[in-house]
Structure 1
Amino acid sequence: MKRSRSVGASSPLNGIGKQDGDSRRKRKVAEISQALNVTPVDVAALRRMAISEGGLLTDEIRCKVWPRLLNVPTDTLPEKPGMPDKQREDLQEELIDIILRVLGRNTQLHYYQGYHDIVVTFLLVLDERLATALVEKLSTHHLRDFMDPTMDNTKHILNYLMPIIERINPEVHDFMQQAEVGTIFALSWLITWFGHVLSDFRHVVRLYDFFLACHPLMPIYFAAVIVLYREDEVLDCECDMASVHHLLSQIPQDLPYETLISRAGDLFVQFPPSELAREAAQQYSQQTAASTFKDFDLVSEQQRPDSVLRRRLREKQALEGAAAGAMVATAQPTVARRFVRLAVMGLTVALGAAALTLVNTALEWVPKLDLHLFP
């Protein structure tokens, strides 16, 4: 089923005229600047800007805001330790250096396949020193459970997916349970923050804006709204593990990202992790062995560091070289119908109520950032 391609996620022009969009963009840039220039920095306002439509707009702004969202001071970053003062031959060396530094300074962390996708994203947005600092903070907090010696905590986080789906669409939940598809199709989504499966760099950094501004479990809520958005495709699929797994693991590239981001925020407010924890724990014994799926093993040519870097670099270069101008989305009627069940909640991040809850929730854990869910 083909859908009209929506406006790029980093564009604030979705569904509005260019002049109005330019005005909103300028206003948002001014609000971000104001939040950065007050003392102390208004982190809550920056989180609202990162969550709201269009996210942080540009990589230049992200360089200033991402460190604030992670509470990383930028004025005391150390010089490159023990690195020769010479021109790098290519970004691949920087990528490997960042990973080695982070793992070398944090011996409790274990590399996992897919980690490169996250590191590359930060490296392409930030300079090497700043990227190293942010990746280290991210690795010891948001990504901490993925970097254990075993996949137990990662699988537990995946177990939040089905309870979310069940609350919104029991029919889809029951269909997936009957097909015994499990949740492994969403593994690469979760552990790379969708960087491995999205081909447009704009969409990747837009999601990073959102995830950095929210609770660390927000990616699993976003995974849930993707499945819910595709409810017609799921229910039209053959009800067997192979068919449903194949369908869901092939993520569409033309998703309405701003709508899905808003819905994910709504779901988090409506069904916080504390409410889902018991059901998530019960899901553990029902999971199909992860080793039975080929896509569980991300060790492939696409996951080699040089391949990941080249892919992301090509995407960014293509984006920078593309003609300027906004595409006007032409939504099909079926899109609205897919979200009828979600709309009845009456929540919208864009209007601010849910956004405020998300920001407050994020600020509760940001000062300590002790996010290792299960010791």
Structure 2
Amino acid sequence: MSLEKEPADHAGLRHDDDDDNDNDNDNEHKDNSRAAASNDDGDDDPVDSPAVALKTSEILAACTWRDATRLRALAESEGGLLADSLRRAAWPILLGASPPANETKHVDNGDNDDNDDDGLAYTDGSSSTADGDWKDLPRHRDEDQVQLDVNRSFVHYPSDQSEPELHKRKRELSDLIVEVLRRHPYLCYFQGYHDICQVFLLVLEPAARAPLVARLSVLRIRDFMLPSLSATTAQLRLIPDILARADPQLRRHLSSIEPFYALAGTLTMYAHNIERYRDIARLFDVILAREPTFSIYLFAQIVIDRREEIFEIDEPDMLQVILGRVPPELDLDGLIKRAVNLFTNHPPETLRSWHHISSSSVLKTCRDVDASTRQTLEDGHRFFERQVKEIQWQELRMGVRRKMWVYRRPVKYVGAAIMVGFVAFYLRRNPSLVQYIWSLFPGGH
């Protein structure tokens, strides 16, 4: 069997099994290249390009051999992974999902938009993604907010569907999000999560969606699903440090504002900002291929690319608004290349704020991309719990400092000092006692 043929089965590319003559095999190869070159939002690139055909074969071969290193390089290169028919095979590998036992026997039916539920499910390798019907699990506390956001989904794409078809999409999106949250109830939903899941829903077959979104949520964007935004803001503070190293003049110009302008972009993997399906799918290719920190460098590079526009604005509030709007027309391949260079020239370890990032943050637990693909959902849960405890400790320390400032007069100084030591000693051993003592102070909660 040819190298192109076997991966085509794995990737779910359309082909005809009934004819075995050489002429049909040639036509099949052309059809596969055409499918790979096609953008699923209706904008088609030239389909007979030898370069596209060659890259298609390389992606298929990398998927067959589960060569994640090669896939990452292809995802980063011009055009990314080319088409959803290829992404369906590549994204599970990039996220470290365990392949189905009979994956090479699967043949896509060619219906890219309305995939049937007989697709093979990739799994995490842990039982939490597969045991029982998720509909029988307890309701997640954030499901009402999920439904509100789902009602606002699919605004920009797909653009060629009827109202009944869009209603079906929204129902599928709601089920996908709720399933992941019910199977992993410790996760906290955030507004914008539906934008990410929307892309996964459009790319993947139904059976593969929940397992892959679960891996993404627990292992790659876990910081955003904590009960506090502190880990998210810690990530954003890397942006000024990157600018300080790459463009000190630009950093000084932006010194009056906090980097919260990057929140919507980084929080949603840019799915909230990018309006063309072809572009966001291509951007997801590289974000999934590289470590999570790369998303921060992408936004820093977007800021650097807009330096002339930024220098014309001095009003802090206006800067926040302008920087929060990612330009609608981006040269994605050029942006990715420049962001890669930015990352290479100023790696995370050289940034001052990097030392304030939790060791349990995805930025550090996924620093080694190869190792992170071998992590399980249980590993991610342990990191989550560890980070929650760190956040609680930090918040309590900040609270104690505020109390000390209120009671800073000398007559109470000794008592306040004893209080601080007492809190530090009992923090991890008896949180309820700490809260009781806290309530003894006027205005304490």
TM-score where L is the length of structure 1: 0.68
Deviation at 1:362, TM superposition (A): 2.0
- Cα deviations by residue, 1:75-111 (Å, 9 ceiling, x for unpaired): 1635982669xx9960111111111111111122000
Between the aligned partners of 1:211 and 1:281, the Cα distance in structure 2 is 23
Kindly indicate whether the alpha-carbon contact (under 8 Å) linking 2:75 and 2:81 is maintained by their aligned counterparts in 1: yes
Bigger Rg, structure 1 or 2: 2
Match of 2:279 in 1: 203
Q: What is the identity, as a one-letter code, of the residue corresponding to 2:68?
A: V
Of 374, 381, 385, 1:367 maps to: 374
Counterpart CA distance in 1 for 2:46 and 2:83 is 19
Distance in 1 (CA, whole Å) between partners of 2:88 and 2:268 is: 20
Change (3 A) 1:11 1:362: farther
Amino acid corresponding to residue 116 of structure 1 in structure 2 = H
1:167 and 2:245 are equivalent in the alignment: yes
The corresponding residue for 2:318 is 243
1:267 aligns with 2:342: yes
Q: Is the 8 A contact 2:241 2:353 kept in 1?
A: yes
Give the 5 Å matches for 1:132-281.
Answer: 132-177=210-255, 180-237=256-313, 239-276=314-351, 278-280=352-354
The answer to whether the aligner puts 1:90 opposite 2:115 as a matched pair is: no
Calculate the aligned-residue CA RMSD, in Å.
2.9
- Rounded to whole Å, the distance in 2 between the matches of 1:232 and 1:214 is 29
Q: Which residues of 2 match residues 1-375 of structure 1 at below 5 A?
A: 22-38=49-65, 41-75=66-100, 77=121, 78=130, 81=133, 90-177=168-255, 180-237=256-313, 239-276=314-351, 278-280=352-354, 361-368=368-375, 372=383, 375=387
Identity of aligned residues (%): 31
- Give the conservation status (yes or no) of the 8 Å contact 1:74–1:130: no
Q: Aligned pair count?
A: 278
Give the counterpart letter for 1:242 in structure 2: D
Distance 1:52 1:210, change over 3 A: same
Deviations along 1:107-145, one digit per CA (max 9) or x if unpaired, are 220000000000001001112221111100000011100
**Relative to 1, partners in 2 of residues 1:46 and 1:245: Cα closer, same or farther, differing over 3 Å?**
same
Q: AA paired with 1:279?
A: S
Larger displacement relative to structure 2 (257-266 or 365-374): 365-374
Match of 2:428 in 1: none
Residues 154-179 of structure 1 show CA distances to partners (whole Å, capped at 9, x for unaligned) of 000111111111111111100000xx
Task: Calculate the TM-score normalised by the size of structure 2.
Answer: 0.58
CA gap of 1:36–1:227, structure 2 versus 1, over 3 A, is: same
Greater RCO (Cα-Cα under 8 Å, separation 6 or more): 1
Q: Answer yes or no: is the 8 Å Cα contact 1:50–1:209 preserved in 2.
A: yes
Shift of 1:361: 4.4
Gaps of 5+ in 1: 1-9, 13-17, 284-358
| Alignment gaps of 5+ in structure 2 | 1-36, 40-44, 102-120, 122-129, 137-164, 358-365, 388-445
CA pair 208-273 structure 1, distance change in 2 beyond 3 A: same
Quote the Cα distance in structure 1 between the aligned partners of 2:51 and 2:282.
17
Q: CA deviation at 1:368?
A: 2.6
For residue 320 of structure 2, what is the amino acid of its counterpart?
H
